[in-house]
Amino acid sequence: MKKVLNKILTILVLVFCIGILALPAESTPITGKVGSTVHVYLMNQDPDPADSGKYLDLRWRVVVTKVGTIDNLEFYLDAGYPFLFEAGDSPKKSLGRVVPSNEMEEYYVLHYKLKVADNALKGEHNVSLRWNDGSGGYTKKYFTLYVDPSKSDFTIGALRTSPERLVQDTDEALLKVDIANIGSEDAENVKASLSLPEGFDASYAYSDEDALGTINESESKTAYFYIDTAEGLQPGEYNATITITYKEDDDEDNQYRTKLLPLNIPIKGSPYLVIESVKTSPAEVYPGTYVSLLINVKNTGSEEVDAASLRVFKDSTQPFDFDEKSDFIGKLKPGESGEALIRVQVKEDAPPKKYLLDVELRGVETNKDTVVLFSRTAQLVVCPAKESSTSLLIPIVIIIAAALVVGIVLYKKRKK
């Protein structure tokens, strides 16, 4: 009995193995319903690998097995970033009505044309193709496309500034920005344009632009920009943007491309000295008098300053002489004020008007041994000269004397 059972089992195993070997082999796995009558194979992509910013041709071989007629064989290509449908192409395509012939299989070619995004990243990117398989359902299959940008690409290498420490209220600060070509092609006619955040301005026309010419592969050039920083600008990192426009070396279409690069501009904390007020003693200033100027100085910055002092510069066109042109104020913390006293002699022929004195505020930034200088102005108003009491008596005396002379003359005439 055991021998009979063993023979039966052996025969069953042989039949199973022969059935497995008789099944048709598939060189490529198909995702979809079992018994699908439509099979799709990627024939080629052109170019391979795909190049960012350029067009990509895709062709599939569609194989329809001889089972029955398919009324409308439709395909839908789902391609996300970095692929775009352009040039009149669309995700949906139809091969129309498919009628089997005497051949066991029918062959068709499915074609798509895509645009690869300018900023496409190097690497593998998946797309999927789905279609109605003739059995009432849909089949979906994934394909891998490879992107290897051969175009020029850029990055910011380094930022250097002059002065080395950028602070608020700075005119014509120089930014030196290294622009590196990290792509695999040379870039021609490279231009860099700097977009500044609030609190920054270009120092003069076109000082926020620079033409760099050709930047070869794996090389870099330095862009120069001149900017002004606003008064009251707080310390911190400020986000700017550099727009790079360029043309690839082998671009037959002569098409210009654009690349946006982020740039962080650091603003450091520092003392900032301003003149808050100017008082005079006496309160009214006249020609030919001595005046004391009491000048109030305040540190409105974010850092402490040591040895703050004030100095007035003599202007030969102004009617003043100075007994003391400078005064020491001392240490000023952020928000603190101090006073400087300056003695001025107003000349006799000083015209009455408002004068602006050139003033320099100086100090040393605490713990940094950095000298800070600020150019300011102090206002001094000269009033019209007062007429003296002697000058007022002279006309009165003349009038009285004239009246006496007239009286004496009249008296003598009457007496005669």
For residue range 298-314, what is the model confidence (pLDDT) as tens digits?
999 999 999 999 999 99
What tokens were used for 416?
């005669």
Question: Residue ranges of the domains in the chain?
Answer: 30-147, 154-267, 273-381
DSSP 253-273: T--EEEEEEEEEEEE-----E
Query: 8 or 244, which is more confident?
Result: 244
Q: What does the buried/exposed string (b/e) look like for 9-31 if buried means 16 or more CB atoms within 10 Å of the residue's CB?
A: eeeeeeeeeeeeeeeeeeeeeee
Measured between alpha carbons, how far is 265 from 241 in angstroms, rounded to an integer? 10
Long-range contacts of range 75-78, CB-CB < 8 Å, 24 or more positions apart?
Answer: 75/40, 75/110, 75/129, 75/130, 75/131, 76/129, 76/130, 76/131, 77/112, 77/127, 77/128, 77/129, 78/127, 78/128, 78/129, 78/130
Between 146-160, 225-239, 402-416, the lowest mean confidence (pLDDT) is in 402-416
Give the residue-averaged pLDDT of 41-53.
Answer: 83
Whether pTM > 0.85 for this model: the answer is no
Give the residue-averaged pLDDT of 78-83.
Answer: 88
- The CATH label, of 1.10.3720.10, 1.10.10.10, 2.60.40.2700, 2.60.40.10, for the domain at 154-267 is 2.60.40.10
Q: Is the pLDDT of residue 98 over 90?
A: no
Query: What is the share, in percent, of the chain residues with pLDDT greater than 70?
Result: 81
| Topology (CATH) of 273-381 | Immunoglobulin-like (2.60.40)
30-147 against 273-381: fold identical: yes
pLDDT of residue 382: 94
For the stretch 246-261, pLDDT in tens is 988 766 667 788 889 9
Measured between alpha carbons, how far is 242 from 221 in angstroms, rounded to an integer? 14
Look over the chain and give the mean of its residue pLDDT values, rounded to a whole number: 83
Cα separations in angstroms, 338 against 11, 24, 415 = 111, 97, 80
pLDDT of residue 258: 87
pLDDT of residue 47: 82
pLDDT of residue 148: 74
Measured between alpha carbons, how far is 17 from 13 in angstroms, rounded to an integer? 6
Q: Does domain 30-147 have CATH number 2.40.280.10?
A: no
Q: How confident is the model at residue 206 (pLDDT cuts 50, 70, 90)?
A: very high
Cβ within 8 Å of residue 296, ≥6 positions away = 275, 276, 277, 278, 279, 337, 338, 339
For the stretch 119-158, pLDDT in tens is 777 788 899 999 886 667 788 899 988 887 656 778 998 9
At 68 the three-state DSSP class reads coil
